Structure 1
Amino acid sequence: MDFIEGTATEAVAQSFAGTADPRLRRVLGSLVEHLHGFVRDVEPTIEEWEAAIGFLTAVGHMSDDQRQEFILLSDVLGVSMLVETIEARKSAAPAHRREWDATPSTVLGPFHVIASPEREHGDQIFPAGGKRPCVVRGRVLGPDGTPVAGAKVDVWQCDENGYYDVQLPEVPNGTGRGLFTADAEGRFWFRSVVPSHYPIPTDGPVGRLLKASGRHPYRPAHIHFILEAPGFVPLTTHLFVADSEYIDSDAVFAVNSSLITEFARVDDPSSAAGVGLPSPYWSAEADFVLRPAPEPA
């Protein structure tokens, strides 16, 4: 059959109709339908389509063990957050699907590329001497408020200048990262520095895309978390620093008002000595509420 504009989508979709896996068959059919719809809508020239392929090729070439440009592209297009939001809604047990039952999911981001070192409660994940040293305390809870003892809490963040360890060759890998185990009351805590806002990497194709579209590349200051425990849906989320710049215009659309957290200044030498920090220091506290995993079918 001739490949003509009017029947092209049907012809390509039909070519995948024999795909054995039903989920893959659905995905391929939907991909063909929407991709062809996009092409029909914008009617790219051959030169534009070649430029698009070149852009995706450059995204692949920019990705390596220390950086994932495809995740960055997904983030700035809002796809990462959309997938997270849909997955959170789908994966919760039916009795716990209300949005206010659990801490919102957010994007993983492009810098969760190495394993976090195991840490003890109160460990300092950055070397001492920062301008705004801080203590972060958290609790891991079920939707009914029951502590989730033994939950694994993976933490990573940038420094006070907006850089992650993997961006600085002189900084040991694992700096600004930690893997904690919640105690019997679901609690964990660590010492760090208040992170800075920072630009996502702009030296690659995603940065060129943002520049061409007139968008800024900045993320508000935040700390990343992944929380996992048996019987619960794993949670990827953030804490955002309340007074940070760009809190209303995150380049990757991850800010949720319930995740904005006050890092309060504590000017009390006695309190500072109790946590092993100079005075003043900054203190933040947050509860992380996990969704129960669905019952096995």
Structure 2
Amino acid sequence: MTDRGLFTEERSAEVVIDSLGPSTDLRLREILTSLIQHLHEFVKDVQLTEDEWSKGIEFLTRTGHTCNDVRQEFILLSDVLGVSMLVETINHRAFDHATEQTVLGPFHMVDSPPRALGDTIALDGVGEPCLVTGRVTGADGTPLAGASVDVWQANAEGFYDVQQPDIQPELNLRGLFTTDDEGKFWFRSIVPRYYPIPDDGPVGELLAVTGRHPNRPAHIHFIVRADGHEPVTTHLFVEGSPYIDSDVVFGVKESLIREFPVVDDPERAAQLGLDNPFRTVHFDVTLLESEPRKADQP
């Protein structure tokens, strides 16, 4: 009998892979080949039923329909499955004492406004006041002047500004700072609260049926960039926060957890423009030098 190369259960992945045209980008071919192989093996392994496959398609469809300008349900899905953290970990393996990366999260939806060092990002003044200080350096300890420090966080009730447009001021608890000549940055804020990721959509349903909570521990987001260095996307986690050991998106790393001690000093509070008592936290960020790009080969 002539072998026509037709689709069979045994040859399913092979037949689909063979259908990729010769002009397919090499990297895309590599990714699709592995995806097809693993996907077909998964279907065979669990003996997926037609009803289950249909429900899976419906789940992904609803996930897409839930996305909007201030919510990215597919990022949430990637987060709770641990894929976001795995991609971050693979692509940013920390070494030479560089600050560790973690997930971007779904709420970096707007550009943070430029602010002067020492400014407050807590525009409504609601919450426990906090002074955040830090320094950006290279791996050898050299201070990086002019580095950009992009920060954003939830409020004292666990909500981001984009979640409460009628309650919080626009761009509340967001700021873009530039380090001084010694690589230092500082700003005023409030202590963030732990919070649940949006769980009123398909991802929330998935968490519920698998017996998982939707909560993230309290944290402040950072993206730090400096010329000639690899940028870092990371968090500053509040020691002692609920869910510090069970982050729903698996984003906590030991090196990113900090104490937020209380300072009771009316004179210093007045100098800083903060109510007394207040909390403080220090977070140094170390960036790796960018690898030089190889010149195009003739």
Q: Smaller-chain TM-score range?
A: over 0.9
C-alpha distance in 1, partners of 2:20/2:174?
A: 44
C-alpha distance in 2, partners of 1:242/1:4?
A: 55
- Structure 1 position 17, deviation (Å): 5.2
Is this contact kept in 2: 1:224–1:237, CA < 8 A? Answer: yes
C-alpha distance in 2, partners of 1:242/1:100?
A: 24
Counterpart of 1:30 in structure 2 is 34
Counterpart of 2:84 in structure 1 is 80
Give the structure with higher Rg (CA): 2
> Per the alignment, in what secondary structure is the counterpart of residue 92 of structure 2?
helix
C-alpha distance in 2, partners of 1:119/1:284?
A: 19
Counterpart of 2:213 in structure 1 is 216
C-alpha distance in 2, partners of 1:41/1:22?
A: 28
Is this contact kept in 2: 1:17–1:25, CA < 8 A? Answer: no
Counterpart of 2:121 in structure 1 is 125
Which amino acid in 2 is paired with 1:25?
R
Out of 173, 188, 191, the residue aligned to residue 188 of structure 2 is 191
Which amino acid in 2 is paired with 1:206?
V
> Per the alignment, in what secondary structure is the counterpart of residue 191 of structure 1?
strand
Out of 222, 234, 237, the residue aligned to residue 231 of structure 2 is 234
Is this contact kept in 1: 2:127–2:155, CA < 8 A? Answer: no
Which amino acid in 1 is paired with 2:137?
L
Counterpart of 2:198 in structure 1 is 201
After superposition, where does 1:257-296 map in structure 2 within 5 Å?
Answer: 257-296=254-293
CA RMSD of aligned residues (A): 1.2
Out of 91, 95, 101, the residue aligned to residue 97 of structure 2 is 101
> Per the alignment, in what secondary structure is the counterpart of residue 5 of structure 1?
coil
Q: Cα distance 1:129–1:156, how it changes in 2: closer, same or farther (>3 A)?
A: closer
Which amino acid in 2 is paired with 1:116?
S
C-alpha distance in 2, partners of 1:130/1:29?
A: 52
C-alpha distance in 1, partners of 2:96/2:216?
A: 25
> Per the alignment, in what secondary structure is the counterpart of residue 116 of structure 1?
coil
- Structure 1 position 183, deviation (Å): 1.0
In the alignment, is residue 10 of structure 1 matched against residue 7 of structure 2? no
C-alpha distance in 2, partners of 1:28/1:285?
A: 44
Counterpart of 1:148 in structure 2 is 144
Which amino acid in 2 is paired with 1:51?
K
Deviation per CA, 1:97-121, whole angstroms, max 9, x where unpaired?
Answer: x635201100000000111111111
Is this contact kept in 2: 1:122–1:190, CA < 8 A? Answer: yes
Deviation per CA, 1:95-150, whole angstroms, max 9, x where unpaired?
Answer: xxx63520110000000011111111111111354341001011111111111111
In the alignment, is residue 134 of structure 1 matched against residue 130 of structure 2? yes
Counterpart of 2:158 in structure 1 is 162
> Per the alignment, in what secondary structure is the counterpart of residue 102 of structure 1?
coil
Which amino acid in 2 is paired with 1:56?
L
Counterpart of 2:172 in structure 1 is 175
Counterpart of 1:57 in structure 2 is 61
In the alignment, is residue 112 of structure 1 matched against residue 116 of structure 2? no
C-alpha distance in 2, partners of 1:41/1:116?
A: 46
- Structure 1 position 172, deviation (Å): 2.9
Deviation per CA, 1:36-55, whole angstroms, max 9, x where unpaired?
Answer: 11111111110100100111
> Per the alignment, in what secondary structure is the counterpart of residue 292 of structure 2?
coil
C-alpha distance in 2, partners of 1:128/1:165?
A: 11
Q: Which runs of 5+ in 1 are unaligned?
A: 90-97
C-alpha distance in 2, partners of 1:296/1:6?
A: 44
> Per the alignment, in what secondary structure is the counterpart of residue 169 of structure 1?
coil
Q: Which has the higher helix share?
A: 1
Which amino acid in 1 is paired with 2:225?
E
Is this contact kept in 1: 2:121–2:188, CA < 8 A? Answer: yes
Aligned length: 289
- Structure 1 position 245, deviation (Å): 0.5
Identity of aligned residues (%): 57
C-alpha distance in 2, partners of 1:158/1:296?
A: 38
Is this contact kept in 2: 1:242–1:261, CA < 8 A? Answer: yes
